[in-house]
Amino acid sequence: MRSTKLALVFAAGVVAGCMAAGPPAPAQAPAPAAARSSVMPLILDRSDLSLGTTVQFARIPSANELYDLHNISALAHIVVTLPSWPRSYPELEPFQQTPADADLIVVIQGFPPTREAAEAWNQLQVRARVVLLAQGPPPPTNVLLDLNSMRALERVIVETDDPSHRGYERLQRPISFRVLRD
């Protein structure tokens, strides 16, 4: 008798709890963070079979933000997307706080505005991989020579409607082309 009474009280509680919840909430627009993540690149590397966490920034993070990443378990990659080149090493200095076990992958749009902007990457003492996303015609030869001097430059991707290596003959890094279609 006592177990039956207990079961009835439990069933009444379940029904009351379900009724108190109300109807399901209607679908809403995605949160701003979800909308922002679709703009940031997703880095896929076939040779990377490791399990780990990727943290993404749309700007150069502060030294404190990078230091805080030491607390993230299984941190594998830090991806930073920059709309333009940092002009000098002091702008890049926060990257010195990058955790040693993580790759720093930086995607930069456009060509370096000065030789100093390209050489600043050589002063970093972290494992960095720079991917340059270029648009428009090939740069002058001196810009290509500056790019060749960058140890961290991994690849150049040229966004164009007419893929051609013309003008990039002196570039000593892998080059690929991206054609965008609607």
> Structure pTM?
0.73
Tens place of pLDDT for every residue, the chain, 182 residues? 555 554 454 555 544 454 455 555 554 555 554 444 445 666 666 566 667 889 999 999 999 999 999 999 899 999 999 999 999 999 999 999 999 989 999 999 999 999 999 999 999 999 999 999 999 889 999 999 999 999 999 999 999 888 988 999 999 999 999 998 88
Q: Are 125 and 149 in contact (CB under 8 A)?
A: no
Contact partners, residue 99, CB within 8 Å, separation at least 6: 66, 69, 70, 75, 78
User: Given this model, what pLDDT does residue 52 score?
Assistant: 86
The three-class DSSP label of residue 3 is: helix
Task: Show the DSSP H helices in the chain as ranges.
Answer: 2-21, 32-37, 63-68, 89-92, 115-119, 141-148
Rounded Cα distance, 159 and 176, in Å? 9
Q: Which of 60, 171, 49 has the alpha carbon at shortest distance from 107?
A: 60
pLDDT for the residue numbered 136: 82
User: What pLDDT sits at residue 181?
Assistant: 86
Question: What's the CATH fold of domain 28-178?
Answer: Rossmann fold (3.40.50)
The domain spans of the chain are 28-178
